[in-house]
Structure 1
Amino acid sequence: MDSLCIENEWLRLKIVPQVGASIAAFEVRRGREWVPIMRPTPQPLPDKPSSYSSFTLAPFSNRIKAARFEFEGYTYQLEPNTPEGNAQHGDVRSRPWQVFHGTNSAACTFDSRFFEDVNWPWPFSLAMLYRLEGSTLETTLELVNQGQSPMPAGFGLHPYFVRNLGEAVLQFGASGYYPTDAGLIPNEDMQPIPDELDFSSARPVGSQPLNLVYGGWDGRAVLEWVGSHLQLLLEADPVFEHLVVFTAPDGTLALEPVTHATDGFNLYARGVRGTGVRVLQPEGSLAGKVRMTIAEL
């Protein structure tokens, strides 16, 4: 399996069309070396996306409890894809995409109508553009309902950032978080953020395990690797109302801009406000951009 590469003077991005147009490497040039900012993907490249540097979540993000949700008076049962029996991370990250690339950009497209086994009741398409501009990687997403009836929708990105460049210090603002049960499903509405989970002022990520969904995200997060003189500025359009923070078992840190809360469709069906769930009419679309800028301090 092969990757394709786009790069400029400062950044290099490797993409694997056959595995969700996922990112296999995101690196910054320092002198004569390329330094990984996202975790490197194992070689040879795997056919599953879980160990990639980053992958795309659509037409929903994170978990749907018991792979079942209600929408407009109907119950929809998806195929579970986790040991707990949930549906997780949508159904585009393992699929082959069409990718057309130049020197510093790559246009990627996926259409569920070309696959008979897509785990989603509505047909949909997704367009994604990776673009390098100076020291910024910009990713643009557009999800379109290709069906004949309204559909609930959402998307997100799942990048894993390295923590071996120096102590990881994180800062972002949010209005609340979702407490979860043992299966990482929200068990109540969004709540105020306790002090130990509050990153509104910059603080080390430390050794505490995190796997949390923050709501009312202000669309900006700063990750600094102390001692490395490198800093990541993560910015997202307002449609990305939520941020998932996950300290992965491999020692990396996932910062996931997503449009809706975990199990958002079921929260929406219960009348919970602020879930971020969108309802797309036939031929309706959902779009947004995420920008990752690497700065030398």
Structure 2
Amino acid sequence: MSERMDPSGRTFEITDGDAHAVVYEVGATLGGFTSGGLNRTEPYPPTQRPPKGAGAVLAPWPNRVRAGQWSHDGVAQQLPLTEPDAGNAIHGLLRHVAWQCDQHVSDGVTLSAVATVQPGWPQPVRVAVTYSLENGGLVVSTTATNLGDGPVPFGLGFHPYLRVGDIPTDELALALGAHTELPLTDQLPDGDEHPLAGADPLRTGLVLAGEVLDAAYGGCAPADGDTLVRHRLTAADDQGTELWADPAFGWVQVFTSDELTGHGRAVAVEPMTCPPDALNSGTDLVTLEPEKSWTAAWGLRPIA
């Protein structure tokens, strides 16, 4: 008798004190993270696929590739158009495959998958993601390894929708550790990156009521005296959820959606190592040499 499989595959739960996370086999997707008794990300059950990309791992590139076309070592590449209405390739190659569980312990789980050689992708890249809990927070570490015989570009992103418990998104303020904005038209680059003013609400705390956002921000860097990039979603009483990241995540996409179930309006804060359409622009791509690896981490923690 065959075993039934949920759309999101097997469920891996991890717990440490009052912190708890759910990770799904298909896409190595973060299905939910709670700490201090509060949801810190938008949860969803394994009986459905990630709504609006919730919790997805975006590799070997994040966001969109215009028309799915790019060039590698002078050879034209054509990726499948996984955003068919707009005619783009979106969010990499690993969102809809079952990842291998390499290790699962009480407070952590590691899953891996290979972006194989296929139409539009010239070298195999193994991606391993470890989710672990410590001190009430979630740490997400990713290692990408080139399994091929030639160099290949690589970009990485994640797609969490942040929450502060059940406080409505419109009552929260978002402050980014970004310094620039990349103009987008139809969610693709259209113009040069330009600075965000120091007093820009997205730097100091933009109240999300009435805001419709789908934009890419760059120049994400640690504040003076810090070693990490920090993006914060906070309530009026200063409690909140922080997304921190290694400086390798120099970009962040912010996306508001009215289409998630269970909590009404939601805001995705997506750490990325490169901007949309980076396979064409080359901006901030990592070059993976044969048999070489690259590692970077981000995470979530409660703000008291």
Please tell me the TM-score bracket, short chain as reference.
0.7 to 0.9
Contact 1:6 1:106 in 2 (8 A): yes
The alpha-carbon distance between structure 1 residues 20 and 121, as it changes in their structure 2 partners (threshold 3 A), is same
The match for 1:13 is 21
- Amino acid of the structure 2 residue aligned with 1:144: T
Q: In the aligned structure 2, how far is the partner of 1:185 from the partner of 1:197?
A: 23
- Amino acid of the structure 1 residue aligned with 2:268: A
Contact 2:152 2:288 in 1 (8 A): yes
Q: Does 1:57 align with 2:74?
A: no
> If the length of structure 2 is used for normalisation, what is the TM-score?
0.85
The alpha-carbon distance between structure 1 residues 87 and 170, as it changes in their structure 2 partners (threshold 3 A), is same
From 285, 291, 297, the equivalent of 2:299 is 291
The match for 1:241 is 250
Q: Deviations over 1:222-251 (max 9, x none)?
A: 111335x63112111111110111112331
- Amino acid of the structure 1 residue aligned with 2:253: V
The match for 1:102 is 105
The alpha-carbon distance between structure 1 residues 148 and 180, as it changes in their structure 2 partners (threshold 3 A), is same
Q: In the aligned structure 2, how far is the partner of 1:226 from the partner of 1:276?
A: 36
Q: In the aligned structure 2, how far is the partner of 1:54 from the partner of 1:179?
A: 25
Kindly tell me the number of residue pairs found equivalent between the two proteins: 279
Alignment of 1:216-227 (within 5 A): 216-218=219-221, 219-227=229-237
From 25, 28, 33, the equivalent of 2:32 is 25
What is the identity percentage for the equivalent residue pairs of Structure 1 and Structure 2?
27
Q: In the aligned structure 1, how far is the partner of 2:272 from the partner of 2:219?
A: 11
Q: In the aligned structure 1, how far is the partner of 2:51 from the partner of 2:152?
A: 27
The alpha-carbon distance between structure 1 residues 132 and 267, as it changes in their structure 2 partners (threshold 3 A), is same
The match for 1:272 is none
The alpha-carbon distance between structure 1 residues 287 and 64, as it changes in their structure 2 partners (threshold 3 A), is same
Structure 1 residue 21, shift from structure 2 partner: 1.5
Q: Does 1:134 align with 2:142?
A: no
Contact 1:25 1:53 in 2 (8 A): no
Unaligned runs of at least 5 residues, structure 1:
269-274
Q: Deviations over 1:10-63 (max 9, x none)?
A: 21101111x111111211243xxxx3221121x4522x3345641101000000
Structure 1 residue 204, shift from structure 2 partner: 1.0
Unaligned runs of at least 5 residues, structure 2:
1-5, 222-228, 260-264
Q: In the aligned structure 2, how far is the partner of 1:40 from the partner of 1:56?
A: 15
Structure 1 residue 112, shift from structure 2 partner: 3.3
Contact 1:24 1:52 in 2 (8 A): no
Q: In the aligned structure 2, how far is the partner of 1:51 from the partner of 1:237?
A: 25
Q: In the aligned structure 2, how far is the partner of 1:176 from the partner of 1:198?
A: 13
Structure 1 moving runs of 4+ over 4 Å: 116-119, 194-198
CA RMSD, Structure 1 to Structure 2 (Å): 2.1
